Every structure is written in structure tokens, then in C-alpha cells.
Amino acid sequence: MQKYSVLAVDDEPFNLDLIEAAFHSYNNIQLTYAKSGQETLEALKHSNFNVILLDISMPGMSGIEVLQKIRADKKLEGLPVLMVTANTEKEKECLEIGASDFISKPYDIDILCSRTINYAKLNYFTREIQNQKNILEEQVQERTKELQKALTLSKETEYEISIRLGRASESRDPETGGHIKRMSAYSYLLAQLCGLDAEEARLVLYAAPLHDIGKIGIPDSILLKPGRFEKEEFEIMKTHSELGASMLSGAEQYPVLAAGKIIAMQQHEKYNGTGYPNGLKGEEIHLYARIVTIADVFDALNSKRCYKKSMSLEKVLEIMKQDAGIHFDPKLIDIFFKNLDKFLEIKERYSDEKTIGFTQILNQTEKKQKILFVDDNELNRIVLKEMLLLIFPGLEIETFATVEETSTISMNQYDVILTGINMPTTTGYEFYDSLKNRLHFSKPIIAVSGEKEKVLDYGFNDFISQPIDIQNVEEVLKKFL
């Protein structure tokens, strides 16, 4: 039999004796007594009760004052408090403060016992449900972490394959040195500058090493030949594009290898349609290939090869500028020249004499995106943070329970701000007004709310619905990250 714990509070010992007599035959009720408001609060510190029977009229601290203190304590949230009184005039005030129900004096024994037991059961089962919910939340968090680790490992494995295949093609030509890493870093930077999101830019970074993978199948007599190719030799050399694409075919379920296939096949196409192997023109050439073409040619012209000397930077830039709209996408070339200092920094940083890994390329050329999430609901903060880390593994996320906790923080460090709406001290609407009007925050502010029309009309950039759903989170955040 499930037992329930009841705290009976009354300054009159006679009334406590009546309560004890009423529950005498109930073996599942464990009574504890308090004769004042202070004794009540002390008892609540040291024991868990399923229900409180609280007398309103007590000297010193009244029952109403005790009720106010109970309802102000988050640890006692949901604890049923039955007010015991002969004064019905106080009922409205008690209900407004948070009383669960009333029991009139003099006691009707049956009503006293029935209401007390019903509320005790309700409290017990509510706690059990919450405990089960907490256990499930912990399991969800643990499972989310496991999935995140598995996803990260899967990506790292695919990236490692890409790097090793790229090294295999690079090893055929000992004079290329750090070419693969430099051109991959150039490609990554150009992908970011032309507007690709973080995920696609990283995809270009890791697929770029596969651009010349087909050279593995080209004979050394041609691949390492000094000087110009004969016509027949050049035709053989050109087959490395289709050979590379063939080597990477059938791997569409692996994003890096699938992107590598596109790049290997199309990186020698030219914007005016005079390239090979298929004479693609303009935007018929995939954006990934157009990006890598610029990065590859820029580094190749700057580098010494068995068949040529390296060119001066001035000559390289002159050639590339002249080939805008001919060999290269003119829009991408324009972006390249507008950000030339960044590409030259990469050129210096990743010279042939310096060893650099792909993780370092990411760390040194990628600014990690950062999110602030403010919500008084702890569960929302935990769940949304885990979801965001699963969707965007490199994301930095800071969470706070109140707007006041963020008062000393610079808001400009965040790329997106998420906020709950119905928070007790400063609401999400007030936070939005402060960000826009006082701090002049210009980046996206997203509401986590069930009030779609209201928050959008107020000016929020978007909203995440409640209860929080991972598909909705991904759909909303990918617009801004």
C-alpha cells in the first residue's frame, strides 16, 4: 500500500487531536504536526510532504503568510495546500495566492479525509510522472550525445578518407608540396565569402583534395614530363577528370565523396565553355567546381612544377584577371580580388615548408558561430542546447535563465539570439526592445514561443514553436547560420 505524508498545521492542539482521530483508521496516512508558521517552514526544509492542511488564523505568522512563502519557493512548486478555516471571507485571497482547496471548520470528517487523500494521491502521481520525465530526459540527453559522437566520427572518417586520397594523388608529384592544403584553404575561404553556409563551406574544404585524384591513373612519363605535352599526351592527361569521377562514383550517400566527384569531373571546365571533359558553360558548371578551379589555378601558377617555374604574384594576378569570364566565374573572381589580402595570408601561412593539418585550417580560417539563449525554463535550455549541438556540431551556445544575467555581456559577440517570451522578471518582448533600441543589435532575434503571429508582428526575425521540435529548430536556424 502506498503511504502518503501529510503536514497538519494549527496553533490549537485540540484541532490537531481531531485531525489525528479522523485519520486514525487510515494506515496509509503518515501525519506530522506543526503549531506555528515557523515550525511549518522548518518542517518543509527537512521533509517531503504530499499535502499540507494549513490553518488560516494563527498568531504571529498567519496561514496566509505561510502560504505566500510556500508559493514563493520553487522547490515546493506543485505541493497541495488545503486551507482550514471558519472564515470564508479569506477564500478569494487564498486562491489568488495559490491555495489548492478549502476545508471548513468545524470539520466534516469524511470531507476532511477524502480531500486530503485525493490531493495526496494527485501529488504523489504528479511527482512520479515528473520523475519518469526526468529519467527520460536524461536518457534523451545521453542518446543525443551518443548520436552526436557517432555523427562526428562518421564525418571525421569521411574527411580522413578524402585527405588520404588527396595525399595519394599528391605523392605522384613530389614538387607539389603543400599544394593540396593551400588550395583547399583557398577553396574554403572563397566558399565562405560567396555565401555558402558553414556546413557547405566545410564540405568544399574536405572535398577539394579530391580534385586531381584521377592523376593516380596517369603514367609518370606524362604526369612528370618537363615541358609541353604532345597532343596525344594531353588527351591522355585530360582523362584524369573522368577517371577521378569514376573512382568516386557510387558514393552519393557520403557528402564529401559525392562533392569530390563533382569537383574532380568539372574543375577543368571553363566558364566560356572551352574546357573539358564536357564543355560545360557558365553556371552549368557546379559552384563547388567553379570555386576550386580558382583556388587550384591560383596556387598552381604561384608554384614551381617539373614543367615550369613559379610566376611572380603580379603576373599570376594579371592572368587571373584577364581570364575572368573566360576561364573563371567573373563573380567569384571579383570576390577573390576584393579579398586578396586574405588569400595572400593563406599563401604565406601554408607555404611548402610549413606543415598544416585540416583541423588547423578550420580553426584558423573559420569563425565559430555563437548563439545566446535566454529562457527561465531549465528544460527548454537543456533540450534546445542539445538539439543545436547535434545539428551544428561546431556551434558555441551560452544559456541563461534571466535577461538580468546577461547585463554585463557584449551582445555583439553573438550571431543569433534566442529568447523565451513569458519570463517572470524581464519578458522576451522587453529583451527584444532593449536589444534593438538600446544596444542596436542588428543580427537575428528569434522567439521561443507558442505565440507565432504575436512575436512575428512584434518584429522577431523568426520563432521556434513549443514544445521544441528538432526539425523545427533545424529549419529555423539554418536560415541564419
The Cα–Cα gap between 85 and 91 comes to 9
Let me know: does 44 contact 59? Beta carbons within 8 Å: no
Domain of residue 384 covers: 370-477
Range of 54-68, 225-239, 277-291, 466-480 with top mean pLDDT? 277-291
Q: Judge if 403 and 268 occupy the same domain.
A: no
Looking at 132, 159, 188, which one is the last position of a domain? 132
Side-chain-facing half-sphere of 469: CA atoms under 13 Å = 9
Lowest-pLDDT range of 16-30, 145-159, 211-225, 257-271: 145-159
| pLDDT, average across residues 275-290 | 96
Q: Which residues contact 347 (CB under 8 A, 6 or more apart)?
A: 182, 299, 302
Whether residues 185 and 302 share a domain: the answer is yes
CATH of the domain at 308: 1.10.3210.10
CB burial of residue 112 (10 Å; 0-12, 13-18, 19+):
buried
Asked if 8 contacts 16 with a C-beta cutoff of 8 angstroms, the reply is yes
Asked whether residue 121 is domain-assigned, the answer is yes
Say yes or no to pLDDT of 299 above 60: yes
Kindly state whether residues 361 and 374 are assigned to the same domain.
Answer: no
Angle (CA) 319-325-331 rounded to 5° is 100
Are 252 and 355 contained in the same domain? yes
If pLDDT is split at 50, 70 and 90, which confidence band does 367 have?
low
**Residue 407 DSSP one-character state:** T
Task: Identify whether 30 is part of a domain.
Answer: yes
Q: Residue 93 contacts by C-beta under 8 Å, 6 or more apart in sequence?
A: 64
Residue 176 has pLDDT above 60, yes or no: no
Residue 237 has pLDDT above 80, yes or no: yes
Maximum distance among all Cα pairs of the chain, rounded to whole angstroms: 114
pLDDT attached to residue 175: 44
Q: Annotate 146-210 with DSSP letters as a single string.
A: HHHHHHHHHHHHHHHHHHHHHHHHHTT-TT-TTHHHHHHHHHHHHHHHTT--HHHHHHHHHHGGG
Distances (CA, A) of 93 to 38, 83, 98, 99, 276: 21, 11, 9, 9, 84
* Cα–Cα distance, 190 to 336 (Å, whole number): 7
Per-residue pLDDT at 361 exceeds 60: no
- Examine the pLDDT at 215 and tell me if it is beyond 50: yes
- Domain assignment of residue 140, yes or no: no
Q: What is the pLDDT of residue 155?
A: 63
Rounded Cα gap, residues 449 and 467, in angstroms: 9
Among residues 132, 150, 183, which one ends one of the domains? 132
Shared domain check, 345 and 214: yes
User: From CA 151, how far away is CA 393, in angstroms rounded?
Assistant: 9
Domain end call among 305, 335, 365: 365
Question: For residue 234, what is its C-alpha cell?
Answer: 594531353
Q: How far apart are CA 184 and CA 164, in angstroms?
A: 14
Angstrom distance (rounded) from CA 180 to CA 183: 5
Question: What mean pLDDT, rounded, does the chain reach?
Answer: 86
Could you tell me if 204 and 228 lie in one domain? yes
Cα gap 471→469, rounded to integer Å: 6
Cβ distance 94 to 54 under 8 Å?
Answer: no
C-beta neighbour count of 132 within 10 angstroms: 10
Alpha carbon distance 423, 427 (integer Å): 5
